[in-house]
Amino acid sequence: CYYIPLLAVIPYEQWLILGGLMLAYIFPPAGKESVIPIGIAVGFPWWMMAFTIILMDILTGLFMALNFDIALKIPGLGRWIRKFIANGEQFFARRPWLERFYFAGVVMFVMFPLQGSGGIGATLVGRMIGLSPARVLMAIAIGTTIGCTLIALGAEFVKELILANPALGLAVAALIIGTLAVIYLVYRRKMLARGSLSR
């Protein structure tokens, strides 16, 4: 009900590209931190990319909340959900802040671009820590709105900077990517260390 009517608003080629980006977002390892900047880089307005991913997070969260048993039967997805739940103790051992901050923890989980932190993963996290479906959806809506808006505005800023001053813009983009890569590697190392200690 969102994607198909866009065909009347944007060119067919862009419509296909947007559909591809939406599909890429559903399947790991692509996340909002990569899909949104790519969409903006190929010409989509920042607000359209932000809104698209926000809507996808909310709708997938709603689907999971209302059709959890059906989701378990979907090939691929059902297996991922069972594995996610089975590794729940280890998952929370690596992310103690999720249980500590409860509702705010789910908001932060969705807001920060971590693998599996979209609507599906957030619904499972909320379910495991005892949040009601309504509160999980509220947390998803808040987290994804903040996260996607910040990522989209940041990507738009870098794009405009590259157009105005290519050397400076590319330097800023490289700095941001390098910083995020370092943060991710440090985070991953800490998670692996906590995982080995919890065994």
DSSP state of 6: G
User: Once rounded to an integer, what is the mean pLDDT over residues 25-33?
Assistant: 77
Q: Which helix (H) or strand (E) holds 197?
A: helix 166-197
User: Once rounded to an integer, what is the mean pLDDT over residues 157-170?
Assistant: 91
Contact yes or no for 122/145 (Cβ under 8 A):
no
> Does residue 190 surpass a pLDDT of 80?
no
Q: What is the mean pLDDT of the chain?
A: 84
Q: Which distant-in-sequence residues (6+ apart) come within 8 Å of 119 by Cβ? A: 56, 57, 58, 59, 60, 61, 62, 63, 64, 110, 140, 144
Task: For the beta carbon of residue 88, count every other beta carbon within 10 angstroms.
Answer: 14
User: Once rounded to an integer, what is the mean pLDDT over residues 13-27?
Assistant: 89
pLDDT tens for each residue of 77-125: 788 788 877 776 677 777 776 667 778 888 888 887 665 557 888 888 8
Task: For the beta carbon of residue 61, count every other beta carbon within 10 angstroms.
Answer: 26
pLDDT tens for each residue of 34-78: 899 999 999 999 999 999 999 999 998 998 888 888 888 888 778
Would you give the distance in Å from CA 51 to the centre of its chain?
A: 13
193 or 80: which leads in pLDDT: 80
Q: Which residue has the tokens 């990319």?
A: 49
User: Once rounded to an integer, what is the mean pLDDT over residues 131-146?
Assistant: 92
What is the spatial distance between Cα 145 and Cα 107, in angstroms, rounded to a whole number? Answer: 10
- Nearest CA to 180 out of 158, 163, 164 is that of 158
Domain extent listing, the chain? 57-197
